[in-house]
């Protein structure tokens, strides 16, 4: 999921504590094992309409954070995360149950990396 953070935000991410997100591009990789469409509908719903269960729910509830595009991949979430080449944004974010040792499933992308993402692979939702 490609996220745009349009202004500096401070967010409490459950047990991970309070973190500051600088404006820029972020990508979140998750597995959605029980149905991608339902999970995306949940994440795209207004923040007040959903309970904050996953780390990403806390971030998406912040003003100034929005989902820009989504991508389906056959790659496991950890492998996909490694191919994107971003920098871990918050240690442990989305990776509580990760067995591959990922530092985070939320990464900050440089403008160069964001520009290099092939548009054809992403479905825009904004």
- Give the tens place of pLDDT for each residue, 69-94: 887 777 777 777 777 778 999 999 98
Is the Cα dihedral 22, 23, 29, 34 positive or negative?
A: positive
Q: What is the pLDDT of residues 89-123, one digit of tens each?
A: 999 998 888 788 889 999 998 877 777 676 667 76
Compute φ and ψ for 69, nearest 5 degrees: -155, 160
What's this model's pTM, rounded to 2 decimal places?
0.81
Q: How is the chain split into domains, by residue range?
A: 2-124
Q: What is the gyration radius of the CA atoms in the chain, in angstroms?
A: 13
Question: Six-digit token pair at 33?
Answer: 């094992």
| CB of 30 closer than 8 Å to CB of 78 | no
């Amino acid at each position: 999921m490609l996220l745009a953070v349009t202004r500096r935000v401070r967010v409490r991410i459950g047990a991970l504590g309070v973190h500051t997100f600088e404006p820029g591009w972020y990508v979140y990789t998750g597995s959605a094992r029980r149905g991608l469409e339902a999970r995306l509908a949940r994440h795209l719903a207004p923040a007040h309409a959903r309970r904050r269960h996953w780390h990403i729910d806390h971030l998406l509830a912040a003003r100034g954070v929005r989902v820009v595009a989504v991508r389906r991949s056959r790659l496991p979430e950890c492998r996909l995360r490694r191919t994107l080449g971003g920098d871990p944004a918050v240690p442990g974010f989305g990776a509580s149950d990760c067995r591959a040792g990922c530092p985070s499933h939320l990464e900050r992308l440089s403008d160069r990396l964001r520009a290099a993402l092939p548009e054809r692979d992403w479905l825009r939702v904004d």
